[in-house]
Chains A and B, each alone.
Chain A
């Protein structure tokens, strides 16, 4: 079972010796007031909540922090070291997949006498680092000394469906420290971002290669996200499989087991190709590379590039080695399988029936709100259907999220959390199809087919259309759609 990862920041004030340059002058406290949407009632937001995190000043009069510190923010306030004045800030760039963000402060005098911290290199395992931040909402800065325990890929829990390079330290990581710098030799060697619930003295920070990639990504004014290879590599350690592929029985090469359809990889790679080298990194038979002295997943070699880069990949195919150029791209089709941020949930309401695209966020909120039916079917649809049967997979599965009760829909049996198959005979492949199906209807009744076994519900179209405005008013819904 996946261990629950929680997002935190560093707490304990150790007896660490403070470096001469006093990096704490560059470490800021970030207060945010945030509001998250309710994905099952997608026009509605939860009450405003406040939270705090940490950040640090980088070149260009900017503040670097974690994406999760400033997500869903309505207002961001930053405070300097031992300075009570609040400054308003805004998100300039945010990378939810790598959990990093850059802020600008409205009043640039904020940066007066505040030196920018320089980024260092990936720290070595067993070396000592010091984390800076404002854990647990405290007003005073906190320092925590720790040792770099391990460098490897980890799930970035903010987005939930990305594994990127991270560094584990034995320094405690606690809420409020997120976004704070991890310092070694007067340079930033990481951004503190998460811990693991249940594991003591274990914290994680985002290392310089990921931070630098992010900063380079946004240089053109757009964040393009972390690219991926579009393949799944598996170990190739069994002598029989190696012999079958006529591959020498040594320690090199990992096998291409899955190629993401429509990805650039699908144009140059094949199932059972063996990846021998990515860029300058030889790939071992367990799918790892040696990266700056650390054995990590070969995925790292792809993820440190920019979206659209071409990488030379040496492969073994049909008994001989060859090199192909692989274009790496950030996937566009799996965003709903991870946590989404800073976007208003999309929906459409007709006759009190609330339709919204299926997503992880929706499933989580539906489960929390005790949806009565269909969550297993939706779970399968979101995570398994496209993989198992890509030919029948829907572009954007749509669910009947809930029903705003009214006489026109009072006799509906289906009340929530059910996949929509067809409306008036139109196959619902995306939310726009729902709109089209209702708005093009010329029949007395709208017929909605739902769920695994084709449950169907019928709505008197004229009555529903006439009641729609009043339903929205009754339930305080500002608009019938956000498409």
Chain B
């Protein structure tokens, strides 16, 4: 698959690298400034660690992400498995429904939620998780659908049922381990989305990690920049570890051997 790159390809890649790396370096340099830009040290980063808001708000976002991921799996895996088995005639409809969140701008959605939801739902920050499930639908549906299309699902389910497993056992112990990489992809998307989402959180007046960064910037712009660099680099490192890990860690090979 590897082909020779010509000179214009190199120019494009070089320009792209410069365009994406240079602002990041500049932001990093800026976040190290102290004393009105006279010297450089880590004080802006140390401030973050000592600020109690950092831990509480990151905690809220982490819990939201966890709940979103669980909700996505509980809702979507049985649904899509069924679409691949008995409910094939509804596949078009579900596919279409899952694309609707792409058409609705998040700000419009947030407005509707604000007026429509009863107070008991709006009194807890975890309402956001259910909304994150909705706005991640187009991506999670696709990830799981592609994963299920690539395995002999009917054979697996029939074999498992014939051996006396219930449908729930089949889902948890047979189907999910087989499409582990697709499940990982869907979970990863849901988690990334809930950790970075801003619009819904701010319009429904909740404090999450991204809205906290925006609040910090009001009084401590340097600390907000340090936080931004930290969260972007942090997310990038996690994804790179996933993407470049040796194949044995990424795929479901190791699980197959043990089960």
A complexed with B: no
Residues of B near any A CB (own CB < 8 A) = none
Residues of A near any B CB (own CB < 8 A) = none
